[in-house]
Amino acid sequence: MIKRKLMFLVALILVVSLFAGCTAKSNESTNTASREITVTDMAGRIVTLPAEIDSIATFGAIGVLNTFVELMGCGDKICNDMTVNFTKSDKWKMQYEFAPQIKGAPVLQSADNEIIMEEVLKLKPDLCLVMTKEFIEPLEKNGLNVIYLEWKQTDDVKTAVTLMGEILGKQDIASDYIDYFNKMVTKAKDLTANLKTKDKKYVLYGNITKLSQPHVIAEWWISTAGGISVTDNGRSGGGSLDYTIEDMLVWNPEVMIVTHKSMIDEIKQDQRYKDITAVKNDEIYYIPTVAHVWGNRTVEQPLSVIWTLYKLYPELITYEDLSKEIEYFYNNFFDYNLTKEQIAAIINSND
């Protein structure tokens, strides 16, 4: 009887151990699976990524891509410095505020934007972000995780933010941002609702001394702010628009918004522009650059709209209201507290 009891106990222990082992393996398998997520990027590619992303490298449109990461409060995950195109002036200095660790970090592209693969492989980032499809294959060939983001149509920003929220586990921030985006658009439309067409100002945006409008997105934020963009010819998609001095004289914009501060004096001193209304009325403004150039592709686009509205129709929105929106945006999304002096410098960017 004793032997039988002992044999029964041994058998029971073996069964329990076997069950526990199976359970542990099952849990291990489940945990392994839970460490990965599968997403579809904006090139329609199905990509499997680590559920925990600790390091992110950005390629090509670094300024734009960094803003998508910083928006999520994850600027500390960016592991590469900006290329010489960004660091040759202090225009992008706020990038080092939102992601201070990138200053002096490896630069992953040459001056002509070629990927320096040996530097990339030394870092082995958990995620590579690109907006150029040609970068996907060389990075993937080297075993790196690549996500492609696209911004050709206005609403692409919402798709990209939603995707980044999924990747970084920040779906709540992504949803909050989209709500804020829509709120600012509605606010601008409400403020300008009573403007008659004849009272709307004609606006020219871009690298004006080079006779170029850098991106179609400007047509959207100018019109949303209640202006009429003189370069809006109905085109869609990305890319710039080039024009001539003769075009500009025919358009005769009432307001010019430039991408480089030095352009203001250049335009004022160039006799070819002297009869243009914007020049005569001294309505030439430098678009702010904070995380990125507000007039180009950036998650700061809702602020582009409200700032432009303030410059075009200061009677419709107060300095205090605009200041509060700027303060809220960077505090809420970038987890960064701007000083009153910094906000003033953004609003009065010509100074």
pTM listed for this prediction: 0.87
Confidence of residue 16 (pLDDT cuts 50, 70, 90): very low
- Average pLDDT value for residue range 180-201: 97
Give the lowest-confidence range in 18-27, 139-148, 273-282, 326-335: 18-27
Confidence of residue 7 (pLDDT cuts 50, 70, 90): low
CB 92 within 8 A of CB 82: yes
Res 14: pLDDT:
46
Kindly report, residue by residue over 139-187, the tens digit of the pLDDT. 999 999 999 999 888 889 999 999 999 999 999 999 999 999 999 999 9
For residue 208 the two structure tokens come to 């004006």
Question: Hey, what's the torsion of the CAs at 336, 98, 149, 231, to 10 degrees?
Answer: 80
Strands annotated E in 243-339: 255-258, 284-286
Confidence of residue 28 (pLDDT cuts 50, 70, 90): very low
**Amino acid present at 190:** D
Res 343: pLDDT:
97
Kindly report, residue by residue over 302-345, the tens digit of the pLDDT. 999 999 999 999 999 999 999 999 999 999 999 999 999 999 99
Find tokens 């200041």 and name the residue: 323
Rounded Cα distance, 58 and 80, in Å: 7
Helix/strand/coil (H/E/C) assignment for every residue in 305-322: HHHHHHHHCCCCCCHHHH
Closest CA to 307 of 297, 317, 299: 317
Question: N- to C-terminal Cα distance for the chain?
Answer: 98
Strands 241-242 and 46-50: unpaired
Kindly report, residue by residue over 227-265, the tens digit of the pLDDT. 999 999 877 666 789 999 999 999 999 999 999 999 999
**Amino acid present at 311:** K
CB 299 within 8 A of CB 212: no
Res 111: pLDDT:
86
Kindly report, residue by residue over 48-80, the tens digit of the pLDDT. 999 999 999 999 999 999 999 999 999 999 999
CA-derived radius of gyration, the chain: 26
Q: What secondary structure letter does DSSP report for 148?
A: E
CB 51 within 8 A of CB 34: yes
Judged against a pLDDT cut of 70, whether residue 197 lies above it is answered with yes
Rounded Cα distance, 131 and 61, in Å: 6
Judged against a pLDDT cut of 60, whether residue 103 lies above it is answered with yes
Res 234: pLDDT:
77
Closest CA to 293 of 58, 94, 98: 94
Res 25: pLDDT:
43
Across the chain, mean pLDDT equals 90
Number of neighbouring beta carbons within 10 Å of residue 6: 10
Judged against a pLDDT cut of 50, whether residue 269 lies above it is answered with yes
Helix, strand, or coil here: 49?
A: strand
Judged against a pLDDT cut of 80, whether residue 33 lies above it is answered with no
Of residues 46 and 19, more confidence is placed in 46
For residue 179 the two structure tokens come to 């709500």
